[in-house]
Amino acid sequence: MAYSNLEECLLDLERTGQLLRIKEEVDPNLEMAAIHLRIHEQKGPAILFEKVKGSKFRAASNIFGTLERSQFIFRHTLPVVKQLIDIKIDPASALKHPIKSLGILPAALTALPKKNPISKPVLYEEINISDLPLIKHWPMDGGPFVTLPQVYTEDADKPGIANSNLGMYRIQLSGNDYELNKEIGLHYQLHRGIGVHQTKANKKGLPLKVSCFVGGPPAHSVAAVMPLPEGLSEMNFAGVLAGKRFGYTYKDGFCISTDADFVITGEVFPGENKPEGPFGDHLGYYSLQHTFPLMKVHKVYARKDAIWAFTVVGRPPQEDTSFGQLIHAMTGSAVSNEIPGLKEVHAVDASGVHPLLLAIGSERYTPYLNNKIPAEILTIANHILGTGQLSLAKFLFITADDTNQLSAHEVATYFKYILERIDLASDIHFYTKTTIDTLDYSGEKINNGSKVVIAAYGDVRRTLATKVPDVIKDLQVNAQLVLPGIIALNANLINTQGVQEKLKGLGANLLEKQGVVMLILTEDATWMGEHINNFLWASFTRTNPSHDMDGVDSYYEQKHWGCKGPLIFDATIKKHHAPILVKDPVVEKRVDEILAKYNF
């Protein structure tokens, strides 16, 4: 069914037992977020907060909390979306199945945005920022944030909805130096379409007009995070996924989503910035306070009985994990079709997405030779690091599988495959002093760090260790097997700078004879060994390849780095790292009391 607004979706979820109504008043200062996190951890239902302290508006979260619920919400449109994406990738497929393709034409018409009369529901009343549910998510947050925004901008050179951008860039509603009801913060990161729009507006000396939509049909939120192929607009996609055309109008020169629950309009003037943050982010740490664009509020609108949509992010998996799963289910092989030779790519959610990318490519360059060494996969790796948000990858592992049986989504099996084959003398390729994800604090300053490509291909070189070898036990530190070939060591008991000395001369013995390929230095090796997700999170969010990667008996040969023994990852927490997200125990006790009434 096509939902005209958010409430229709929530009522549909309630009809099928997928909605929890919290009826008592709940504080938007930490309590609402804590309730969300608790219910999401238990794979619970969507939540409707009926009484938000300090606001007359209701709020909803965990709407996309599981892949199954997301698929239920879009059950009538997902098949059409998949088919349209397939045709976009391979237009000839429409000619091969003309009857089937004709069947999607009515749905395809929903891709066309529809301009509506100005007296549409979202303009029911004009309110202030202070009237909204001002939800603060984590104790050290700089203030309340919009966490499911649809931020709309237009191209100053080509104005109009056809060349617009819709993205999910967090909005800080108050706190710091923002003047309440007049100023809000606009945070966006590298490789985002809004940056192009602001650059063009700045060159013309014009303010960038921004509209922030909240709520509306759930498809609009998904469209804001969807990595779309070139030439396909978020508004087109939103209409197809919603099953109804994206409705819009203009008021005071600002685009208005006529189906949204709330719209905030404002302008970003050239050179006007203010400190934004901190904010508990999806890597599981705080993104710290930095200077970002200042948005001067023009108007705030709300529909009658509007519902404020929000989510809470933190150490993955969280609700945004379901976004990634849904996107993968829809796009399938879209990315691999854009990059020749790429079969599969997996941005690992447990590591925070951008820190770790696993890829499978092809090796077709020299079929006339018997030797199997990385060649084509190196070309593919460079293509990946030059493609959209994939370019934010910090650790890129890539291999080729001639049997087509390996999956990048089976993480433990993937690591086993690549570690059995890696040649540490030639397969490690560093990119130093480059850009990394804005939210990644493993580098020494914002947006700056390094990358590494680990490209391995060929026959099995070694049998991986399945227990801690005696030579490592002799170090007399807590050592735990994490995965075959990967061992965690307690760094608080061993000088991280002295590991090379302690293991000097043991390189080939540890690697080829003992089957140890990676040593991970951490404050708690027991914790890291308890679950693969602990390894994925700590090892790849806390390491800067150029600074924190080393190897036993390492060396340089004509500027290429290599080592004779296991790789060493210093995954300890450094002084320049952002703080880890920690829940407030007082708030947690209050949440216990609230959720006990609902059997959670």
Please state the domain extents for the chain: 6-309, 319-455, 470-570
Give the residue, 268 or 86, on which the prediction is more confident.
268
- Mean pLDDT of the 209-214 span: 96
Phi and psi for 585 in degrees, rounded to 5? -65, -30
Per the CB < 8 A criterion, the answer to whether 414 and 390 are in contact is no
Q: What is the pLDDT of residue 562?
A: 95
| Domain 319-455 in this protein, CATH class | alpha beta
Query: In whole angstroms, what is the distance from residue 545 CA to residue 501 CA?
Result: 20
Q: What is the pLDDT of residues 545-554, one digit of tens each?
A: 999 999 999 9
Q: Do residues 242 and 88 lie in contact, with contact meaning Cβ atoms separated by under 8 Å?
A: no
Q: Is the pLDDT of residue 6 over 70?
A: yes
* 333 vs 365 pLDDT, higher one: 365
Assigned token pair, 216: 């509306």
For the CA atoms of 325, 328, 331, 333, what is the dihedral angle to 10 degrees?
-170
pLDDT of residue 476: 82
Lowest mean pLDDT among 13-27, 60-74, 186-200, 304-318: 186-200
Q: Is the pLDDT of residue 287 over 90?
A: yes
User: 30-44, 191-205, 485-499: which has the highest mean pLDDT?
Assistant: 30-44
What backbone phi and psi angles, to 5 degrees, belong to 36? -55, -50
Enumerate the β-bridge partners of residue 344: 360
* 94: confidence class by pLDDT, cuts 50, 70, 90: very low
Query: DSSP 3-state assignment of 43?
Result: coil
Lowest mean pLDDT among 15-29, 232-246, 421-435: 232-246
Is 101 in contact with 79 (CB distance < 8 Å)?
no
Name the average pLDDT for the chain.
Answer: 90
* CA count, 13 A, side-chain hemisphere, 203: 8
User: What is the rounded average pLDDT of the residues 225-248?
Assistant: 84
Q: What is the pLDDT of residues 134-178, one digit of tens each?
A: 999 999 999 999 999 999 999 989 999 988 989 999 999 999 999
- Summarize pLDDT for 245-285 with one digit per residue, the tens: 999 999 999 999 999 999 999 999 998 999 999 999 999 99
pLDDT at position 191: 57
Of the listed ranges 60-69, 91-100, 106-115, 153-162, the least confidently predicted one is 91-100
When pLDDT is cut at 50, 70 and 90, the band that residue 95 belongs to is very low
CA dist., res. 421 & res. 400, Å (int): 11
Range 6-309 classified under CATH 2.30.110.10 = yes
CA neighbor of 26 nearest in space, from 123, 114, 135: 135
Q: Which of 114-118, 561-565, 568-572 has the lowest mean pLDDT?
A: 114-118
Does the structure show a pLDDT above 80 at 577?
yes
Q: How confident is the model at residue 98 (pLDDT cuts 50, 70, 90)?
A: very low
CATH topology of domain 470-570: UbiD C-terminal domain-like (3.40.1670)
Alpha carbon distance 30, 35 (integer Å): 9
> pLDDT above 70 covers what percent of the chain?
92
Least confident of 123-127, 325-329, 492-496: 492-496
Which percentage of the chain shows pLDDT scores above 90?
71
User: What's the confidence (pLDDT) of residue 336?
Assistant: 65
CA–CA distance, 251 with 258 (Å, rounded to integer): 11
Cα–Cα distance between 414 and 406 in angstroms, integer? 7
Q: What value does the mean pLDDT take over residues 33-59?
A: 97
DSSP string, 436-504: --TT--SSSBTTEEEEEEEE--SS---PPPSS--HHHHTT-S-EEEEETTEEEEEGGGS-GGGHHHHHT
Query: 319-455 and 470-570: same fold?
Result: yes
Contact between residue 194 and residue 293 where contact means Cβ atoms under 8 Å apart: no
- 247 half-sphere exposure, CB direction, 13 A CA radius: 19
Say if residue 518's pLDDT is above 60: yes
> What is the DSSP secondary-structure string of 46-103?
EEEEEEETT-SSEEEE-TT-SHHHHHHHTTTTHHHHHHHHHHHH-THHHHHSHHHHHT
pTM of the model: 0.91
